[in-house]
Amino acid sequence: MALERKFKIGKPILEVKNISLSFGGVKAITDTSFDVLEHEVRAIIGPNGAGKSSMLNCINGIYKPQQGTVSFKGKEIPNITPNIMAQMGLSRTFQNLALFKRMSVLDNILVGRKLHTKTNFLEVAFQLPKVKKEEKENRDRSEEIISFLEIEDIKNTPVGKLPYGLQKKVELGRALATDSSVILLDEPMAGMNVEEKRDMCRFILKVNDELGTTMVLIEHDMGVVMDISDRVVVLDYGKVIGDGTPDEVRSNQKVIDAYLGVEH
């Protein structure tokens, strides 16, 4: 991280203001605010049930928070849906893998190119020249991502048949294919071994470094989080209990209490 960055950390690109979300009587998130700066790697951490995934789902529009607003690229988005966010340039991966299981790796990544596909079904049915051109561009970009993630050898395998670690990689690839400016990663390294984790970290940093993509990630492995993120926000019981650089968060008493427990 000491090296000079190609993409300097800039202004806030994503702002979450006073979000409250509850399911019936269960409060998942209470009055939470934080922001994400352009080109940074931002981590959301917290114990189980702290509301991290709910937070991502609110940002992405899968959940509708009862209160609060999400602003993206300086605009407050009134009726967030996953589709609107995707069109505005926000992509994501899912905690429990949400790949298209019966489709090949290449096809999964090609779906990520949806927003760069302008031709309609009639043009596709008759395979007009512009469809061929567009398809070729999308395929080339997908192949680039596949070689970037070093998964060339499995590109024609149906993803349902792949081991977990590789599926996580494909999901990252699919999010990358959208060419989004912000990617939300929901536990990208859950269930991976040390080597796979190191690989994944490398890819996350490489993407951030080479493409300038803003990364928001949820992670449990504290070592990983402290190594790769620029800033960390800590949630506990749906509330922000710490926000700052990894060092600041590490020395925050509230965070230590939440993670290690505190004597009452």
Partner 1 sequence: MMKPVFMTYTKKDLINLAVCMVLSVLVIPSFITTEYWYTSILIPWLCLALATIGQQIVMGYTGQLALGAAGFMAAGAFAMFNLILRVPDLGFVGSLVVSGLIAAAFGILFGLPSLKVRGIYLMVATLASQFFIIWMIDKFGWFKNYDSSGIITAQDIVILGKPFTTPLAMYFVCLAVTTVLTLLAMNMARGSTGRNWMAVRDMDIAAESMGVSLLRTKVQAFAISAFYCGVAGALFAFCYLKSLEPVAFDIKLSFKILFMCILGGLGTINGAFIGAAFILLFPVLLNAIGNNVFHGAIDATIISSIEQVIFGGLMIIFMIYEPLGMAKLWENIKQKWKTKFPTMNIKNLTSSIGKKS
Report the interface residues with partner 1, using CB under 8 A: 60, 62, 81-83, 85-87, 91-92, 94, 98-103, 107, 110-115, 117, 119, 121, 124-127, 131, 134-135, 138, 156, 174, 178
Min dist CB 117 to partner 1, Å, is 5
Q: Which is nearer to partner 1, 69 or 117 (CB)?
A: 117
At residue 38, what is the residue type? E
SS3 11: coil
Q: Using an 8 Å Cβ cutoff, are 109 and 154 in contact?
A: no
Position 160, amino acid: G
Instruction: Say if CB 243 and CB 232 are below 8 A apart.
Output: yes
CB nearer to partner 1: pick between 52 and 113? 113
Shortest CB 234 distance to partner 1, Å: 26
Residue with Cβ nearer partner 1 (113 or 141): 113
Nearer to partner 1, 3 or 122 (CB): 122
Q: How far is the CB of 51 from partner 1 (least distance, A)?
A: 19
Question: Closest approach of Cβ 37 to partner 1, in Å?
Answer: 23
Nearest-approach distance from CB 25 to partner 1, in angstroms: 25
Least Å from the CB of residue 163 to partner 1: 18
In contact, 207 and 139? CB cutoff 8 Å? no
For 40-68, b/e burial (b = at least 16 CB within 10 A) is: bbbbbbbeeebbbbbbbbbbbbbbebeeb
Nearest approach in angstroms of CB 98 to partner 1 is 4
Asked whether 145 and 105 are in contact (CB, 8 A), the reply is no
Which is closer to partner 1, CB of 80 or CB of 225? 80
The whole-angstrom separation of Cα 161 and Cα 190 is 19
Select 190 or 256, whichever has its Cβ closest to partner 1.
Answer: 190
Q: How far apart are CA 73 and CA 60, in angstroms?
A: 14
Q: What is the DSSP string of 169-229?
A: HHHHHHHHHTT-SEEEEESTTTT--HHHHHHHHHHHHHHHHHH--EEEEE-S-HHHHHHH-
Closest to partner 1 by CB, 158 or 244 = 158
